[in-house]
Structure 1
Amino acid sequence: MTDPQTAPLAGYTVGVTAARRADELGALMERKGATVVHGPAIRIIPLADDSELLAATTRLVEDPVPVDVAVATTGIGFRGWVEAAEGWGLGDRLIAALGRSRVLARGPKAKGAVRAAGLTEDWSPESEASAELLAHLLEGGVAGKRIAVQIHGEPLREFIDALRAAGADVVEVPVYRWTGPADPGPLERLIEAVLGGQVDALTFTSAPAAASVLETADRLGRFDQLVTTLTDRVLVVGVGHITAAPLTRLGIPVVCPERARIGALVRELAVALPARAQRFTVCASEVELRGQAVVVDGDLRPVPPAPMALLRALAADPGRVLSRPALVGVLRRHSGREVGVDEHAVETAVGRLRAALGAPGLVQTVVKRGYRLAVPVP
């Protein structure tokens, strides 16, 4: 028997869109009881094959104009840049060029990567925020200065544009660029599962992944439906506010931890998702509706999708009778089919629901009227 108290995500299905560290993220969720569905939304272009990164690096080491300021935005990105440069035979020249500049690091991981390369950062914002880093640069004046900005994934458009508007010559260094997945099948199936009510939360660890999910839904003709589903029903969790930006711009609420870390994302998920559970008393039994399961008196009981759709309809107003025709409509909306779903299908689904709950009396038949949950009616 699963103890839901020790597994806060038991009974929930969580979608993972990450490409990098997806296994680690999924394992953390599974330890908390979640069922994980993986649909990678992006693919990282190998550094050694990235012609844009090579061109930017070559420009920095060969151009006689010196770099005044170098900005390291992420630890993995800065390390990857240095390693790629070493592979191209440009490592020593890159370190020498950066060593003659002021190096700014956005956060502790970027700071660690800078020091690992034998360099020393001049300044790092306590908030780890790009906005504070930008304000520091603009306050010191950037007109006429050459600034190299290491970019990791999502282009820092506002950051770059603000520097250029202030008169800086900005060299963008695109490290770990992302494109769509090589095989879009898993992502398409994840989106369909989200729309079909089979996923309770969707997680994002990068803004490009969020943008890719939206683009894929648009290509499938499901954009509006996905936005509505993510807004109204599915919990969306992002590792940080930058990651969440493509979604929040559409009005989709996104829960983010205070610190942009994978572990913090899972901890936030393990609090926010159970908080959405519906709880009530039926026939003296304590019932909790989780995503794809029900907890009855502390016992976690998985419920198949169609019976769960009926249970949610009955639980929307516990004790109220729902007619068979009304429940036919519930099953049709759930299945997406207008034909082949009739009152016999309702009776079958109710039978499966009672079996799954392990207590047939929780769902009552009201003769000639329909079904209800067996809760006291005032």
Structure 2
Amino acid sequence: MTATTRAPLSSALQGCQIVIAVDRRAGELTAALERHGATVRQAPALSIVPHVDDAALLATTQAIIDDPPDIVVATTGIGFRGWMEAALEADLATELTAALSSAVIVARGPKARGAIQQAGLAADWVAESETSAELGAYLVEAGVEGKRIAVQHHGSGSDGLDELFRSHGADVVSLTVYRWGPPADPVAVQRSVQLTGGGEVDAVLFTSAPGAAEWLAAAEREGVLDEVRRRSAAGRLLLASVGPITAEPLERAGLTITTAERGRLGSLVRSVVHHFGGEGAVRVTTVGGELSLRSGGAVLDGRFIPLSRTAVDLLGLLLEHPGAVVSRARLQGALSREGLSPHAVEMAVARVRDALGTAGVIKTVVKRGYRLDLVEDDE
């Protein structure tokens, strides 16, 4: 039998190169984006290292079975699910489920709640903001003194929950089911930030705060973080996160962020499709039709037109100054691939006009330079 290829859903992302700084479910996310026409580059800045064979995790699990908790805190879906899988591998799943069944179970968000339900349990409360701060405040207000609390942590640590509960008199049992490790392919991460800073990437997607922070650190090491910041502010680069927690390190770095509404991969994909296929991407109305730009070409009047890197750079500079004249000297700076010929700009503009199928989009301003010929200019 031959494998079947799923039919494309749209061409909304045609010409877009998208970096996904994601480890878990990277294949699923890649496939979803490709069905809308995107070219995807996987560059997880961190890897997930499971603790399934960790003797300490199993010892803590046995201690919870022997002395069941009053309260169970689930901070992540992958972590809680991994805990159940580790218990199953050690033939402790039935005993663990029984030990947790009489506890008050709280979840940091819907993913954790889903994992709780998958284990045959029920969440008594879910943090609406999906933050550890809200979860901690809720339990402290409810009263934790004298309570035994099992806290399942995410890979980057406790978020201060252990310390908070202990400071209010609780007996805390801490579990870290997985941890963040180094990237599986550091070269891919390095290349992804270089391409992003160089304008050859249209979007970078993040699904974890530690992964986002590490990708930003890589961008800073490569000296391109300022350019990433500039391009995101100018609307030329989409930085999208799966939820508000993931967005925090990006926001702290002063980056312009789009956050998926529902904190799901499907919602993240929809936000990217809406950005490029809807009203999110920078676009102008020229005499030749509505124009927007992707790293692989231009969309003019609803039609994607593949363009060379030089042509994209040239149009990008004009698009950053819509309707304004851009001098030949300034355009020359975007044409380093064309050499230093005095006619390089004229030749490049001619090629772009030919590719677009109209001379009207780019207007020559004699002795000054070029500009996009916008519809409002003629009003």
Change (3 A) 1:303 1:209: same
The superposition leaves residues 8-42 of structure 1 with CA deviations (integer Å, 9 ceiling, x where unpaired) of: 33333322111111121122222223332221222
Q: Distance in 2 between matches of 1:222 and 1:281?
A: 32
The CA deviation at 1:263 is: 0.7
Residue 166 of structure 1: which of 165, 168, 177 is its match?
A: 168
5+ long unaligned stretches in structure 2: 1-8
> Unaligned regions of 5+ residues in structure 1, if any?
none
How far did residue 143 of structure 1 move? Answer: 2.2
Cα-to-partner distance string for 1:227-270 (whole Å, 9 max, x where unaligned) = 44444442211000011111112222321122111111111222
- Are 1:194 and 2:199 matched, yes or no? no
1:60–1:67 CA contact under 8 A, matched in 2: no
Match of 2:241 in 1: 238
Could you say what secondary structure the match of 1:276 adopts?
coil
Aligned to 2:254: 251
Distance 1:48 1:341, change over 3 A: farther
Partner of 1:80: 82
For the pair 1:355 / 2:354, whether they are aligned, the reply is: yes
1:330-349 map, 5 Å: 330-332=334-336, 340-349=339-348
Letter in 2 for 1:351: A
Alignment correspondent of 1:55: 56
The structure with higher relative contact order (CA 8 Å, sep 6+) is 1
CA contact (8 A) 1:238 1:256 kept: yes
Supply the distance in 2 between the matched residues of 1:154 and 1:228 (Cα, whole angstroms): 29
- Pairwise CA RMSD of aligned residues? 2.9
The answer to whether the aligner puts 1:31 opposite 2:35 as a matched pair is yes
The residue matched to 1:191 in structure 2 has which SS? Answer: helix
Q: What residue number does 1:45 align with? A: 49
Cα offset, 1:171, TM superposition: 2.6
The code of the aligned residue for 2:349 comes to: V
Distance across 1 between alignment mates of 2:117 and 2:364: 70
The Cα of 1:67 is off from its aligned counterpart by: 2.4
Distance 1:363 1:252, change over 3 A: closer
Distance change in 2, residues 1:158/1:251 (3 Å): farther
Letter in 2 for 1:101: A
- What is the rounded CA distance, in whole Å, between the counterparts of 1:254 and 1:299 in structure 2? 27
Call closer, same or farther: CA 1:46–1:286 in 2, change over 3 Å. same
Aligned pairs for 1:1-378 within 5 A: 6-49=10-53, 51=54, 54-62=55-63, 66-99=68-101, 101-121=103-123, 123-125=124-126, 127=128, 129-130=130-131, 131-232=133-234, 233-273=236-276, 274=278, 275-282=280-287, 285-292=288-295, 293-332=297-336, 340-375=339-374, 376=377
TM-score, normalised via structure 1 length: 0.84
Identity of matched residues, %: 44
Contact 1:287 1:294 in 2 (8 A): no
Residue type at the aligned position of 2:78: I
> Secondary structure at the residue paired with 2:125?
coil
Partners of 1:231 and 1:251 within 8 A in 2:
no
Give me the whole-angstrom Cα distance separating, in 2, the residues matched to 1:60 and 1:47.
Answer: 12
Cα 1:116–1:194, aligned 2, differ >3 Å: closer, same or farther?
closer
The amino acid across from 2:240 in the alignment is V
- Which whole-Å deviations, capped at 9, do the CAs of 1:82-108 have from their partners, x for residues lacking one? 111222344344334434533333445
